[in-house]
Structure 1
Amino acid sequence: MLFFKKKKIPLNEFFPQGFVDIHSHLLPGIDDGAKDLETSIALIQKMASYGIKNFITTPHILGDVYPNTPEVIKRKLKEVTDELKRRNLLDISISAAAEYMMDEKFTDLIEKAQLLTLKDNLVLVEMSYFSPPINLYEILFQIQLKGYKPILAHPERYNSYHNNFEEFFKLKRAGCLFQLNLLSLTEQYGKGVQKTAEKLLKENLYDFVGTDHTSSNAFRIVAKNSNPKEFKKY
């Protein structure tokens, strides 16, 4: 369980040693994150200054909007890792998976069983903020039937569930793990998201945390209200 006290702390002390950010958008030019290689490196260096030096970055795979493939993602990852080495930034660890939108094209990818995982069989998934897919539970079943375990990104941001909290318990019973966006603990995404995140924390429903980092405006507002000594390392 995560427990937060209102206490101002240095930002670079907020994250526990060995913290791995499992959700970010740091690869250049393939989604709504870093626009180019220079931006990728700048974002990573900024994150490192906050105390985050281990990344499993997760570019979107979303229909025709971000039609990324494992080959594209691995190629972009190599660009970043090569540049980190060139700049002698050897204390940074970065690998790549993906954040999959649960849509019709995703069901085709499930059938092929060629998903990029965070680790072992863990797959990061998302859905529309406003309306879950009609066949959501069928998709979750198919994911697990193929031997994967779904981690639902930022469940607190799905507006359609804010007034129906029982849906979160239903998702957990269906085999979903939950990943908290750290900025959801602030008003960054709105008070409704913040309130839902706090309730999910209270119910001990989160399994992982991540930054969902896309730009350099990240976490100073989180650190103002948090105590890293009581931040559970997952």
Structure 2
Amino acid sequence: MIDFHNHLIPGVDDGAADAAGAVEGLRAFAAEGITAAVATPHLRASLLERAGERDEYLGQVDAAWARLVALGGAECPSLRLERGFEVMLDTPAPDLSDPRLRLAGTQFVLVEFPFMSVPPNAGPAIFELKLNGWTPVLAHPERYGNFDDFAAAAEWRQRGAYLQVNCGSLLGRYGPEARDRAWGLLERGLADYAASDYHARGAPRMAECRAALAAAGGEAQADLLLRGNAARLLDGQPPLPVAPLRRARPSLIKRIFGGGR
């Protein structure tokens, strides 16, 4: 499996607090069979407009990234590490020309909407990123509190974005609404990737997510969501279509007497 949304870089955001936390996260990734990871600390797009603050923060991340690479080489040498950011679109049309801002230096950039809410200009903002030469990957659309329209998700994809659901959402870790939205995206063929959004606490849950998808009859989808399409992203290639997931439903007896969700 390959993960391109996590907060492993130590001491720069709400992920790994220090080197010990980063080591714990690296070991957790290796234990789940994750072979490559793109570390993506938080970044507000508006910060890019303030040169002094931007350079100070990027310098801090550069130093912390070097520490993570050294820790990875010592603890998990078989784990490929790359870098990027999770860019909050709190300002339109950010300058993403610095390759450090993008996923593994490709044209792909991991973005999120501000305040965990879909803004009214979401579609045009995504389209402008695409016009400027970047390929937005929208993080965890299922977690936005006012996301209640799958047609909007289809529009974001039509405007040039790809959609990444959180493994934890599919497992119910963010509550029933996020879970149902995440599965709804898969059932409509609107999800392109699944990632951990791991904050160096507990388990990444990618292996658990893969098992849940397989149990729902989605082994082929799981392979694309958790490995194949992420591998293509690292090569600068667009994802392959993920077929709508026709979930295996529990029998009527199980639904009546328990055992089915």
Q: Please, what TM-score do these two structures have when normalized by structure 1?
A: 0.80
Q: Which has the higher helix share?
A: 2
C-alpha distance in 2 between matches for 1:229 and 1:170 = 27
Instruction: Name the amino acid aligned to 1:31.
Output: D
Percent identical pairs in the alignment equals: 26
User: What residue is the counterpart of 2:147 in the other structure?
Assistant: 161
Alignment match of 2:15 (pick from 33, 36, 61): 33
Pairing of 1:88-167 with structure 2 (within 5 A): 89-104=76-91, 107=93, 109-110=94-95, 113-114=97-98, 116-119=101-104, 120-128=106-114, 130-162=116-148, 164-167=149-152
Aligned-partner residue type, residue 77 of structure 1: W
**Structure having the higher Rg:** 2
Aligned match for 1:76, one of 64, 74, 77: 64
Counterpart mapping for 1:1-234 below 5 A: 19-62=1-44, 69-85=57-73, 87=74, 89-104=76-91, 107=93, 109-110=94-95, 113-114=97-98, 116-119=101-104, 120-128=106-114, 130-162=116-148, 164-218=149-203, 219=205, 222=209, 225-227=212-214, 229-230=219-220, 231-232=222-223, 233-234=228-229
Contact kept, 8 Å, 1:28 with 1:37, in 2: the verdict is: yes
Find the residue that maps to 2:185 and give its secondary structure. Answer: helix
User: What whole-Å deviation, never above 9, does each CA across 1:193-234 have from its counterpart, x for those lacking one?
Assistant: 111111110111111121000033232753663439542232
Change in 2 beyond 3 A, CA 1:168/1:36: same
In structure 2, do the counterparts of structure 1 residues 194 and 126 end up closer, same or farther at CA, with 3 Å as the change threshold? same
- The residue identity in structure 2 corresponding to 1:216 is R
CA displacement 1:163-207 (0-9 Å, x = unmatched): x22211121121110011111112110111111111110111111
AA partner of residue 72 (structure 1): Q
CA distance in 2, matches of 1:75, 1:165: 40
Give me the whole-angstrom Cα distance separating, in 2, the residues matched to 1:184 and 1:130: 14
Counterpart CA distance in 2 for 1:179 and 1:24 is: 12
Q: In 2, distance between residues paired with 1:69 and 1:135?
A: 28
State TM-score, norm by structure 2: 0.72
Q: For residue 201 of structure 1, give the secondary structure of its aligned residue in structure 2.
A: helix
Instruction: Mark the runs of 5 or more structure 1 residues left unpaired by the alignment.
Output: 1-18
Q: How many residues align?
A: 210
Q: In 2 relative to 1, CA 149–41 (structure 1 residues): closer, same or farther, beyond 3 Å? A: same
- 8 Å contact from structure 1 (residues 152, 178) kept in 2: yes
Post-superposition Cα deviations, 1:106-129, rounded to whole Å, max 9, x if no partner, equal 64x32x633611142000000135
Q: Which runs of 4+ in 1 moved over 6 A?
A: none
The 8 Å contact of residues 23 and 75 in structure 2, kept in 1 or not, is answered as no
Question: Structure 1: how far apart are the matches of 2:130 and 2:39?
Answer: 22
Distance 2:130 2:213 in 1: 35
Q: Secondary structure at the match of 1:180?
A: strand
CA shift in 2, pair 1:103/1:157, >3 Å:
same
